[in-house]
Amino acid sequence: MKKYPILRRLLCCSLSVAMLFSTQVAVYAAEIDGGAQGPEILSNTEFSNTQTSNTNSEDISTNLSNTQSNSEEVSSKNNNSIENDSKTENLEEDSQEVPDEKEVETESEKPEETIAEVSQDKTFNVKKGDFYITAFVPAGTFDVDVEFKAEIISLSTSEQELVDEAVSSEEVENYYAFDLRFEADGEEIEPREGSNVKISIESSSINANAVVHIKDGDTAEEVSSEINEDTITFESDSFSTYVVTEFIEKLNDGKTLYSNFLYGSAEVIDKEYNFIKGTNEENGANKGRIAFRVYQQNNDKYAPFEIAPHDDGRCFQYGSNKAGNFTFRFQAPENYYVAKVTLYEDNGSDFYKNSPLQTVNVDGFQADCQVTLSLRGMDGTNKFVNAVVVDLEPMPSFYTDKTQYVQGATFVNFVNGNFYGKAEGKENRFFGNQFMFGSGQTGAESNHCSYGQVYQGLASNELKDGKFTLANSNGLEVFPSYDNYLSKWWQYNYYIDEYYNDALVQFGLDTEGYWTLDSSQYKYVTEYDYYYHKYKLKPTYGSQFRPFNARPYKNSKGEESLHEENHFGMMLPINFCVAEDGLTDEGKDTIFKFFGDDDVFVYVDGHLVLDLGGIHNAVRGQINFKTGEIIIQGDRENQLTSSLAGDDSCYVTLNDGSIAKGIGTTNLYDLIPENDVTALSKKEHVLTVVYFERGAHESNCKISYNFTKTETRTADFEGLKVDENMRGLANAQFTLYTDEECTNVATMGIGVPAVATSDENGTIKFTGLSAGVIPRGSDSITKTYYLKETQAADEYKTPEGALWKLELTAYSDPDKDYSQKLYALNAEAEALSFDINNNSVYKSSTNVVKIKNNPIKFAKKLSVSKKVTYGMDKHLDKDAQYIFKIEQGVNGVYTPFENKPYKIGDKELRTDRDGQFVLKADETAVFEGLMETQYMVTEVGMISNNGYTLGNYDTRIIIDGDENGAVLYKHDNSADRYALIDFEYIGENNTKSVANEKAAEFENNLVKVFDWQLIKISKTSKSTLMGAEFTLASTEQGSTDTYYGKSDANGVVLWYRSVSDRDNNMNPIEVSVGRYTLSETKAPGGYAMSMDVWQIIIDRENGVQAYINNPGDLAENTVSEEQNLANGAVLKTVKFSFENEVSYTLPKTGGSGFLLYTIGGVLLLLVAALLLYKEKKKLYL
């Protein structure tokens, strides 16, 4: 800039002009603004929060005069004009109105006030925000003219606490505080003694509850007041701070939304309070409150049912400071769980048909859960109400793997199934009009029920002689005795066409400890058990309760089609007992549950205690044996029903207005002889379930119970069953009977026949065997059973006439073990019985500890050995394991020899469930105690770490060392490599004989062998290179195998498991079969590292391949060599050449390359000399 003085001066002048101009603009702007600093921000308090407002926010501004009356007030809020003409038009003619003024600091500013004369009544009117404040001053209240002033103020925390104390126990939602005072000549003045001023505060935006006066000295008291719609009025003789309060109308404990037997309970757990205030049409909107109702819906075909508040359209509301996410805790009623919670806008009866605002699926079948919902608040005129919809579903059962059978069930299939019963007028009415079997299309008079309801009084209150009858029986037997049905079938076949007697019904133990049958999870059908010679009802794939198989029916046109049998009945007796305290072993109440359709009648010792009669959808019944409480529950178009609700909604209303209510849900102990659970616990009982499907539609049945049974013990006879050598004998079957004639099979647990089979040690166990009920005042109980061997082990004789007696004793003292005594009752039993010293038993009083069987066949021995040859000193697959399967043949049918013992050396092993066992090279498996004469041994596969399969081996099988009879299986033969072992042979004189011992040798010869090498060479000279390094990385899914290679002096790459092994040339290994990528990581000295990535496939079955992009593109780098091995095999080795180029090569002497380099060097020297010359010339100049 020194070289340009003129430019410097021009810039300085321009800057001075700009500064002068900007100063003038600022002065002009200030003058335009009148010199004021802007309006003062006024303080206003609303909803317990201090809010700021500008001059156009909540106060009105107008010019006042003492003579002006009925002035028009205008209030602007959020830049929107609100007219309040009606307020000023109704003022007294002599009243003085003081509207809010725009507070601006000017010399002419006046405080808001009115001046009253002393000689007459005066009314002062002031508007502050949304509040109209009126002060009525009677004549003579003041000695001088006064001004009335009113200001909205904020309360401190301590002042709010004073207000809270003044209004007793009520909780205050909002505080609206006002500084009310009268002034004369600028001084505050109080009314004359004995005079009062009447103050009215009006606002449509709040719901005033009380007025509190905060006096000087930090004290407060509630002032007597009157509330008329939007106005609260009070009188006072002293003025300072007055607070109008809004109380919280708390519901219950302030959090609970509802709590009842029907729907459980719900609460908001993260909010301080809740209340019901008005409806969604009233004054919640302008406070920004959160409003909602709670509904139940588990069937989207019907509108949700309002659970709470369910009070003339009112709703729960929370203050605006409670907005945001709400966390609800829902507790389902008994036997239900919370499936999901959905949030909608509650904008009409069909709100649920709109898209939900939020859906929360509750996982895990939770009966008690927490759900967070984002509820929307109301805003101004937006009367938004949230609909919280809870989906309550029946709690399912979750089975364990334990099952048991209840025996003694009766199933009767009545004539007219689904096909005929569908049509009206074709109902089966053989039991009368009030118990017809049709399609369920008839009305309540024919005991068809609405959803979630039952029709009581259809069944008799007693089972007479164990028989079920209807209350209005026409004499027809519903469940005739089976003997009568068989002998006089023609008397019953017109209304019964199938009859299953003494059937077994399978129950599964669920995770809650209930034995359960649930047709919602399985389809229950019957099948005949030829072992027990009885029908079994057991679960299969599907759902519904269908004890009778579907059958073909013809319609009126003669067309035949398959239809389910929908009209049937079941009687299911269950023996049970309860503990004295009514609890199970797990400490839970003892309970019986049913859930399903149609009729269900439950009897305890023949007395009707639960009546779920009628053709209805699935309903639930429950008996609590601890408390005696009986419950009926249902679901009626999203409205749950329960007998605990205190009404009769769970019963059908008949056409004459009466209720179909019989025994109702009277307490159990008012219906049976026992008065309480203690009396019930003194003996065993029978609970009988009588079930009917009559509606020709879905058939649902769920039965659950957790009865505490009678005293049950496990009779465990360790090593009881032995063979002729006094060793444990497996697969002998024993049965317990309750009578000496052995006509009645005893039961274990809940109805399971007491049948046990000995294990390999000869041990038998009867699990859950009843010892009876310990009498009151006694410390033990003994029960007698009778034991027979009903099926001997294979190759042994069944002792038909032998009989033993079991005495099982249980004690009430839990620390005292039970006892079991077994005695031989007849000579046949004595001949097979032994005592603890292995002496034969000759007295019926001797305790039997072993029972022998005499064999039909004798034991035999089989040895299976494995031999492997490789054709070279190196064992290419020495750790391979060869898999065999052994099967035994009976009458030409071979079955796996599963879970059978064998030995390899001194090691005892067992075959698996498929009869498989494993051998290594030079090992032998020895099977002893074989009772059959034919066995088949098959080599089925192998386990090789090197990837070999049986396809790499020839196999030669030699039986009993007979080389001439050896069978050879070539490696490419896909047939099974098996040996048939027959202990039976034709001996001398053409007689059949049985060998004691046989042997089979399986010799495998490795004939199909592939190997490979990677050789590092120079691309130009083809000479081998040393020191190249490689990485071989597996590309198999899930594999992280990596090998590290290095070429030796011969260029052959050796592979290692780690970099350290490679660098130290330690522990080279073979690469496992699989797919790999090959990369060079270091080139030999003087050579460039190759960037090629090879794909390597190592396969012992098909050989080794290598390529870069496509198979065959490395053919020029591949050489195959073959070597004949000693065992006749051919070793095929594939060699891959991995080439390297030198990193740099000088040109030959005299070549053109050398000349170019020389010329270039000379030119560079000339350029350098020229530059040096010029530099020196500058110095001399």
Strand partners of residue 1095: 1077, 1107
Helix (H, G, I), strand (E, B) or coil at 481: coil
Half-sphere exposure in the Cβ direction for 759 (13 Å, CA) = 10
Mapped to the 3 state alphabet, what secondary structure does 43-64 carry?
Answer: EEEECCEEEEECCCCCCCCCCC
Domain range 860-1006, its CATH number among 2.60.40.10, 2.60.40.1140, 3.20.130.10, 1.10.510.10: 2.60.40.1140
- Which of 359-368, 1105-1114, 1143-1152 shows the lowest mean pLDDT across its residues? 1143-1152
CA distance 364 to 386: 26
Strand partners of residue 341: 360, 390
| Cis bond upstream, residue 309 (ω within 30) | yes
Position 74 scores a pLDDT of 31
Q: What are the residue ranges of helices labelled H in 434-592? A: 482-487
List, for residues 1051-1063, the tens digit of each pLDDT value: 999 999 999 999 9
Q: How confident is the model at residue 280 (pLDDT cuts 50, 70, 90)?
A: very low
List, for residues 147-199, the tens digit of each pLDDT value: 999 999 999 988 888 898 888 656 787 889 999 999 998 899 999 998 999 99
Q: Which of 1119, 1135, 1097 is nearest to 1011 (CA)?
A: 1135
Q: What is the mean pLDDT of residues 898-907?
A: 95
Distances (CA, A) of 470 to 617, 709, 726, 780: 21, 30, 60, 42
Q: What is the mean pLDDT of residues 772-782?
A: 75
Strand partners of residue 268: 328
CATH code for the part of the protein at 42-247: 2.60.220
Domains 42-247 and 860-1006 agree in fold: no
Q: Is the pLDDT of residue 564 over 90?
A: no
Write down the architecture of domain 711-852 according to CATH.
Sandwich (2.60)
CA distance 272 to 254: 7
DSSP 333: P
Q: How is the chain split into domains, by residue range? A: 1-35, 42-247, 256-394, 399-705, 711-852, 860-1006, 1008-1142, 1151-1181
Q: What is the mean pLDDT of residues 98-125?
A: 53
CA distance 225 to 199: 10
Domain range 1008-1142, its CATH number among 1.10.3720.10, 2.60.40.10, 3.40.50.1820, 3.40.50.720: 2.60.40.10
Token readout for 456 is 């009581």
Q: Is the pLDDT of residue 56 over 60?
A: no
| Cis bond upstream, residue 585 (ω within 30) | no
CA distance 559 to 758: 54
Mapped to the 3 state alphabet, what secondary structure does 659-714 carry?
Answer: ECCCCCCCCHHHCCCCCCHHHHCCCCEEEEEEEEECCCCCCEEEEEECCCCCEEEE
Instruction: Let me know: does 390 contact 330? Beta carbons within 8 Å.
Output: yes
Mapped to the 3 state alphabet, what secondary structure does 706-732 carry?
Answer: CCCCCEEEEEEECCCEECCCCCECCCC
Q: Which of 260, 131, 259, 267 is nearest to 199 (CA)?
A: 131
Q: How confident is the model at residue 384 (pLDDT cuts 50, 70, 90)?
A: confident
Q: What is the mean pLDDT of residues 1122-1139?
A: 82
Q: Which of 247, 252, 245 is nearest to 222 (CA)?
A: 245
Position 796 scores a pLDDT of 85
- Residue 462: partners with Cβ closer than 8 Å, 6 or more residues away: 603, 606, 607, 608
- Which of 221-235, 733-747, 753-767, 1145-1159 shows the lowest mean pLDDT across its residues? 1145-1159
Position 278 scores a pLDDT of 53
- Residue 602: partners with Cβ closer than 8 Å, 6 or more residues away: 592, 594, 608, 609, 610, 612, 621, 623, 687, 688, 689, 690
Instruction: Let me know: does 146 contact 137? Beta carbons within 8 Å.
Output: yes
CA distance 122 to 139: 7
Q: Is the pLDDT of residue 102 over 50?
A: no
This prediction has a pTM of 0.50
Distances (CA, A) of 696 to 404, 436, 479, 568, 691: 30, 11, 20, 10, 14
